Amino acid sequence: MIPIRDDSARRRLSVVSLLLMAISMAVFAMELKGSASGQLGGVWQTWGLVGDRFWGSLAAAIREGNPAAAVAWLFFSLPSLWTSLFLHASFSQILGNLLFLWAFAPRLEALWGRGRFLAFYLGCGGLTSGIQAISDPSLATPLIGANGAIAAILGAYLVRFPTAKIDSLCPWGLGLVATPLPAWVYGIWWFAQQAFYGIGRLSADVAVNAWGIGYWAHGFGLLLGAGIALWGKYRRSIASSENQGLG
Per-residue pLDDT tens digits of the chain, which is 247 residues long: 788 888 775 656 789 999 999 999 999 999 998 888 888 888 888 898 888 888 888 887 788 777 887 888 888 888 999 999 999 888 888 988 899 999 999 999 999 999 999 999 999 999 988 888 787 777 788 888 888 899 999 999 999 998 888 888 887 776 778 888 888 888 777 777 666 665 556 765 666 666 555 666 777 888 899 999 998 877 776 656 555 555 5
How far is the C-alpha of 27 from the C-alpha of 36, rounded, in Å? 14
Residue 114 confidence (pLDDT): 93
Q: What is the pTM of this model?
A: 0.85
**Phi and psi, residue 78, nearest 5°:** -55, -40
Query: 5: how many CB neighbours lie within 10 A of its CB?
Result: 14
**Counted domains in the chain:** 1
CATH of the domain at 49: 1.20.1540.10
Nearest to 229 by CA among 141, 166, 140, 157: 157
Give how far the C-alpha of residue 167 lies from the chain's centroid of Cα atoms, to the nearest Å: 22
> Quick one: DSSP state of residue 144?
-
- 159 lies in which domain range? 2-246
- Burial (CB < 10 A; 0-12, 13-18, 19+), residue 165, is middle
